Amino acid sequence: MSNLIKPRTLSGFMELSPKDQVLFEEIRRTLEKVYQSYGFFPLDTPVLEHSEILLAKAGGETEKQIYRFSKGDTDLTMRFDLTVPLAKYVALNQNDLVFPFKRYQIGKVYRGERAQKGRFREFYQADIDIIGDGSLNIVNDAEIPSIIVDVMQSLGIEDFTIRINNRKVLNGLFGVFGIANDHAADVLRIIDKVDKIGVDNVKKELTAPAEDGPALVPEESVAEKLLEVLTNKGTDEEILALLGQYRGQNETLDTGIDELQQVLYYLAGFGVSKDKYRLDLTIARGLDYYTGTVYETTVTKHPEIGSVCSGGRYDNLAGYYTSKHLPGVGISIGLTRLFYILNAQNYLNRAKSAPVDVLIIPMTDDYSEAVRVSTQLRNAGLSAQIYFEKKKFKQRIAYADKLGIPYCIFLGDDEIAQHKVALKDMASGQQETLTADEAAARILEHKAGAAAEKCVVM
């Protein structure tokens, strides 16, 4: 037919194969379980909001990247993160919520960026935030990274580092070094590039005269001192000691050092192993949103990926919508990107992608025994599918094979007469005649072994 419409999916919109989707759901479910085990409520906000709400804070860059349109006389925008909707939600329901309010949200967000490899226009974020009413104990800033460690390890990812810093330390140091307040954001942006372009280039950029005035850091000796502190590669204790030398000169700096020390103290208390985190004073997070602790998480073998999980402490969540003071701390996992990377790097455990534990293949025209056995297996906690199509035996077996289903059960006249099933282990090729209960036990045993053996991520 010539008038067929060519099926296609928008570029930058991830659409997985069925087997990959099984693995994605496993990862998503793992995140949910961990988040729930720490007392976070689920939250689900609309994909669409009034533009006025979502763009309360947004600057020029955000506006360019969003999906915004009108329907009737309503100006609508698709959410571009899960934080602004959270702010709206908390402001809207402030009288009904119980604080500290802990919520997780795993949902799609939309950014109309130019599509490129590994960049998505529709992608999942998996956020947790703890919101206080008026105040929020600093120990929460230590619990958040301990949850991230739990998440990563539950997925099977062991080789990662959470880098921790505090924005007050950075701002305080700028004060000490006489860097103007309105230069702070630019200085941070340049320092943020130190891993990419190196210390020397950062220093050059910092001390280069601006078109319309002095350099961000006019004196080279100051830039050197600043970078000596910030890019110090010592242990956490050594870096804290170095910072300690600047104590007493700037109140913000002193508060920042105190907060950092407490967060590191409690992190140890949370049983987080020392090799999973480190103090890194170059971490700034581009956003001018964070005011205290900030986090980035990198996979050790793949620094080029950048941070897979970032966040921090903010002074006030919902200042655009309410005069109530709502400090918080949170973190966001870019789930679609993380999955894309794990998949591209062959880190996913494909043995986990079967849709079902066992395929039941009836060899007679009557399906009633197959139905009976399938119900029995499901009641035993297994998933079971009956192959109903009238295809050749070879094609039926090929179905299980292609889908990676670990077991088949054949039900012929003989088995039915004996009230037994023929169970075939697809990996070994071995076949045995058993009762349905024995078959269920066998498959459950295999399943428990496979579950213990490996996580979703290898």
The nearest distance, CB 111 to a second copy, in angstroms, is 11
List binders of a second copy among 86-105 (CB under 8 A).
Answer: 88-89, 91-93, 96-98, 100-103
Q: Which of the stretches 219-227, 234-242, 320-328, 338-346 binds a second copy when contact is defined by CB under 8 A?
A: 320-328
The three-state secondary structure class of 332 is strand
Say whether residue 389 binds a second copy (CB under 8 A): yes
Could you say whether residue 392 binds a second copy (CB under 8 A)?
no
Helix axes 167-176, 220-230, angle to 10 degrees: 150
Shortest gap between Cβ of 167 and a second copy (angstroms)? 21
Q: Which is nearer to a second copy, 43 or 333 (CB)?
A: 43
Nearer to a second copy, 68 or 225 (CB): 68
**Residue 364 within binding range of a second copy, rule CB under 8 A:** no
Site for a second copy in 338-357 (CB under 8 A): 355-356
* Nearer Cβ to a second copy (128/226): 128
Separation of alpha carbons 259 and 165, rounded Å = 10
- Taking CB under 8 A as the criterion, the residue among 117, 233, 394, 402 binding a second copy is 402
Would you report the helix, strand and coil content of the chain in percent, each value rounded to 5? Answer: 45, 20, 35
The answer to whether 363 contacts a second copy (rule: CB under 8 A) is no
Confirm if 31 and 148 have CB atoms less than 8 A apart: no
* CB 234 within 8 Å of CB 109: no
Name the CA dihedral angle for 267, 272, 277, 283, rounded to a multiple of 10 degrees: -40
Distance CA 342, CA 160 (A): 13
Does position 394 interact with a second copy (CB under 8 A)? The reply is: no
What are the residues facing 421 on neighbouring strands? 434
Residues in 168-187 at the binding interface with a second copy, rule: CB under 8 A: none
Alpha-carbon distance of 91 to 320, in angstroms, equals 9
Interaction residues for a second copy, span 113-142 (CB under 8 A): 122, 132, 135-137, 139-140
Question: Binding a second copy by CB under 8 A: which of 201, 368, 418, 431?
Answer: 368
d(C-alpha 259, C-alpha 184), whole Å: 20
CA-closest candidate to residue 144, choices 309, 278, 25, 301: 309
Candidates 179-187, 215-223, 267-275, 297-305 — which segment interacts with a second copy by CB under 8 A?
267-275
* 266 scored as a contact of a second copy (CB under 8 A): yes
- Please tell me whether residue 361 binds a second copy under the rule CB under 8 A: no
